[in-house]
Structure 1
Amino acid sequence: MKNFLIINGHQKYGSSEGRLNQTLVDSMVSLLHENNRVKTTTLQKGYSVEEEQKKFVWADTIIYQTPIYWFSVPGLLKTYMDEVYAYGLFFKGGDQYGRGGLLTNKTYMLSTTWNAPEKAFNDPTQFFKGDDLEGALGHLHRVQEFLGMHPLKSFACYDVIKNPNIDKYVTELHAHLKNVLKF
């Protein structure tokens, strides 16, 4: 039995109410709850920094469910990281920059929703200049690496505004989780 922390990083933006990200969180909870312990945080509802730090210490795997706004996480998720990732608890200074992470026994997964179509990735003639999903999320991976955590393969839902397909996203997420978590 493993401990999972799922963070819903959605922040209301324009007409985006966050239903897709909440659906994906609910789907993960349903899938993982059977044989594991699961805690969640929905940033839009508020949080206690101390409680969140305790959840990180408790968790074996942290899953960030977040939309990508302007090629990064919403401001609310960035603020959460700034407030929760504490020196001395999550990282410390070291001889080499970026090698003082204290969460070395933990894994994480980025599960993201994009308005970008899937074809915008992995093609040097498209917007991301040939970067795959992991490359486009590289800056977010650096944050987790700084804390010492180890990545699981990221997941993405593409084209979520122009061509939403909720059933497809949930089915693909379940298959992805079963693959990367080996169950």
Structure 2
Amino acid sequence: MRIISGDKKGLPLKAVPGKDTRPTTDKVKESIFNMIGPYFEGGKGLDLFAGSGGLGIEALSRGFNEMIFVDRDMKAIQTVKENLRSAGLSEQAEVYRNEADRALKAIVKRDLSFDGIFLDPPYKKQKLESMLLFIAEQGLLANGGFIMCEHGSDVRLPEQIGPFSCARNETYGMISVSIYKAADDEGGTE
């Protein structure tokens, strides 16, 4: 695993020890960023099921200003912190150990919104539709923002979830990636 592009291109990333975390492969990560836009001019992001932090760190390398990383596993949190340190990105990050649902509720209390939200929950325990509805109800996605959902290719997410429309969906073997945007952003999803 490595950072694919941006300021920190080529920097290796550590994986979370053990078999409980499934890192996004470099090939899928590159495809995700080709779908959402390869580079960014600022922005705040949320990597909700952070694992090793690969998606959020990639977004920081490609121009996001700041990122909040959340994972419930202590080994994952330690790995995210190590990867941020080695990339020199710790100052641009907040890292929390928490369950995803509880973390979202805590974020609501802080009155934050995000330009990019990365959701890559364990495939067997996905509640992506209810999470997207909660994100919509609480106004957690900034105007013009995106939500990236990584899920098993056997999972079919609806074209429309609340105010969000699926702008892109791609499948890579056993993995699918769905990108959601607000349906009314700039006259539709592009």
TM-score of the aligned structures, taking structure 2 as reference length: 0.40
Higher helix share: 1
Higher strand share: 2
